[in-house]
Structure 1
Amino acid sequence: MARILVVEDEEAVRDFCRRALELDNHMTVGAADGGEGLDVLQMEAGAIDLLLTDIRMPVMDGIALALAAARDFPKMPILLMTGYADQRERARNLESLVRDVLVKPFTLAHLREIVGKALKKD
């Protein structure tokens, strides 16, 4: 299965996403903000199959992370998640880089479905 990086500043949401994805036998790595997520991507040097990141985070937001990830790893699918309407609008400008935007709150089934679709597009 896939190796997925989950970047989310709220620990409960990050853990929920990781557990949900591990139910589908994916391996997950967690990061608490975009800066930490970018460090993980660079350390893993292409070993991450999918980036799932929140948009609104401290240090580096998910959009800046998505731009850096797309630059350094152009074949890696990227999914964004947010609970804020203004952040969804910002994500619309990234349609060529981002596979989808998950709107919080989302269900376990919806998360698993969106991730499955993003991984199948490769």
Structure 2
Amino acid sequence: PTDPSRPPGGRAAAPRGIATVLLVEDEAPVRAFASRALRLRGHTVIEAGSAEEALETLRDETLKVDLFVTDVVMPGMDGPTWVRAALERRPEVKVVFVSGYAEEQLGDGSMSIPNSVFLPKPFSLTDLTETVQRQLH
């Protein structure tokens, strides 16, 4: 089936690579880097600069999202808090948490969230895309 959210003439990736990713990162350069990496793999990326913006985006019930990629520590609401709220309505979505802090330092119970994995910053394009692929399959 053709994906209407994909730009026409977009390079066809392997079908298993295609997912809709909600990328939540308050640092614009990091968000741009991650977004580009995921798009190069054929994913559709919806970007949000904050948890609040991500939750606003998810108000659209028709929007299908397969994966959340979110920073853990952000101004305002943190990653685990918004993800818990989002998963109440979308329990099937998988999660990749990214942070410059070690997982143990966070101590916020983010790992108690089902279907979530942790990716430490700094990460390479390959680290990110491989982690995303693993989470999707």
The TM-score with structure 1 as length reference comes to: 0.89
Q: Calculate the aligned-residue CA RMSD, in Å.
A: 1.5
Q: What is the match of residue 75 of structure 2?
A: 58
Q: Which moved more, 1:38-47 or 1:13-22?
A: 38-47
Max Rg structure: 2
Sort the Cα spacing of 1:44 and 1:27 in 2 relative to 1 into closer, same or farther, 3 A. farther
Q: What is the match of residue 80 of structure 1?
A: 97
Q: What is the match of residue 108 of structure 2?
A: 90
Contact 2:55 2:86 in 1 (8 A): yes
Q: Identity across aligned pairs (percent)?
A: 36
Contact 1:6 1:30 in 2 (8 A): yes
Q: Structure 1 regions of 5+ residues with no counterpart?
A: none
Aligned partner of 1:22: which letter?
R
Sort the Cα spacing of 1:58 and 1:92 in 2 relative to 1 into closer, same or farther, 3 A. closer
| Residue of structure 1 aligned with 2:44, choices 10, 20, 27 | 27
Contact 1:70 1:97 in 2 (8 A): no
Aligned length: 118
Q: Which has the higher helix share?
A: 1
Q: Which moved more, 1:108-117 or 1:42-51?
A: 42-51
SS, match of residue 77 in structure 2: coil
